Amino acid sequence: MINLIDLGGVAGSPAEQGFNIAANYWSKMFTNDATINLGVSFAALPPNVIGSTRSYAFDYSVQNWENGINATKSGSAIDSNIVLPTLNDGSVSFITNGTDASGTQNIGDAYKYVTSGDVSSTTLYLNSSVIKAIGGTLANPGALDGAVQFSSNFGFDFNPTDGVSANTFDFIGVAIHEIGHALGFVSGVDAIDYFAVPNGPGAGALGYNLNDTSLFSSLDMFRYSTDPTNLVAGSDPVLDLTVG
């Protein structure tokens, strides 16, 4: 269940129904009984800012994540056939693009796989919504899991069933997209692309080394390929963060 919390400007506005429809859409996509607390607002924002989503994430071991997935997955055909990564002492390894063996330092555009004795990650950076969904424990489960805000300065169409009017944005469609980020549809690859040294546009701006930093999300653990560059022995699919 998604519990919408009005952070300002939503009650009584057309955005209220739009947020409710978007939240109901996502609620029907899942079968567990986790309650996700999502703040929503509809108010004037700075010029050229249509909206934004903020979510909250925490360090979570790969091993506990995989245990949680196995313990809470449904009996559906999709869940029964999911391919979880093979762990090595609670660690996971994958192909990365433009990173070194630890999966964190930018070295150009070469495809890389961890060398013997190294691993890509032992700890994920999980959205609190995902932790709840897999039965994990949070220090404050009643806190917000995310917040979505839209600018009332822009033109929105709140009823896309009859088409989206010219020069307006589909409010419900955008709300579904933004709520998805708060529900865990995010990737740690963006952080590496931006902050990695020396080629990232934000290289040096982070203030600490990306090595030994939890970056990757639950979603990243389902990105497989057939290893077209033959970096890994065998022909089985392999976790590959260079693919979409």
Across residues 117-131, what is the average pLDDT? 87
- Whether residue 134 sits in one domain with residue 149: yes
**pLDDT greater at residue 112 or residue 144:** 144
Q: Which of 185, 150, 121, 114 is nearest to 42 (CA)?
A: 150
Over residues 162-179, mean pLDDT: 94
Q: Are residues 115 and 143 in the same domain?
A: no
b/e sequence 106-118, b meaning 16+ C-beta within 10 Å: beeeebbbbeeee
Asked if 220 and 207 sit in the same domain, the reply is yes
Helices (H), the chain: 14-27, 62-72, 77-80, 128-133, 171-182, 189-195
Mean pLDDT of the chain: 84
Are the beta carbons of 168 and 157 closer than 8 angstroms?
A: yes
Please determine, for residue 203, whether its predicted confidence score (pLDDT) is greater than 80: no
pLDDT band for position 107 (cuts 50, 70, 90): very low
In a domain, residue 164? The reply is yes
Q: What's the number of domains the chain is made of?
A: 2
Q: What are phi and psi of 95, to 5 degrees?
A: -80, 135
Residue 76 lies in a domain: yes
Residue 125: the pLDDT is 93
User: Could you tell me the two tokens for 73?
Assistant: 């997955």
Residue 244, in any domain of the structure = no
Both 52 and 66 in one domain: the answer is: no
SS3 state at 224: strand
Is 192 within a domain?
A: yes
Residues 154 and 83 in one domain: no
Give me the domain span that covers residue 211: 57-125+186-239
pLDDT in tens, 1-54: 999 999 999 999 999 999 999 999 999 998 888 999 999 999 998 998 898 899
Say if residue 119 is in the same domain as residue 7.
no
Shared domain check, 161 and 67: no
- Of 141, 158, 182, the position where a domain reaches its end is 182
200 and 121 assigned to the same domain: yes
